[in-house]
Amino acid sequence: MIIATTTQIPGKRVTAVKGLVQGNTIRSRHVGRDIMAAFRNIVGGEIAEYTRLMTESRKQATDRMVAEAEGLGANAVIGVRFATSMVMSGASELLAYGTAVNVEDEA
């Protein structure tokens, strides 16, 4: 599966558009992570606990988007974007979406 943020893939041409695909996950913060984040906020530096949480969230949302594209028979997803929103205090949604397509090598 090819995943691209662009609407074209060099060396490939789109032969069929399968439609919009998406994948999401909703994650809540963890009390232990919040304590470490508060400490890091005081002394400065990267909040690695949240970095890992966001990385896991992006991967899960992307995997779900790809599964939906595969279910449509696509071999690529173009125009991929990510969006986040707060669902409730301490919980956020991460959404991955794009256009499922079939591509083939250019002649």
User: Residue 101 pLDDT > 90, yes or no?
Assistant: yes
**In this structure, are residues 85 and 65 in contact, taking their beta carbons and an 8 Å threshold?**
no
Q: What is the dihedral of CA 11, 64, 18, 72, to 10 degrees?
A: 110
Averaged pLDDT score across all residues of the chain: 88
Instruction: List pLDDT tens digits, range 24-69.
Output: 999 886 655 556 656 656 666 777 778 888 899 999 999 999 999 9
Global pTM reads: 0.84
- At 66 the pLDDT is 98
CATH number for the segment(s) 2-105: 3.30.110.70
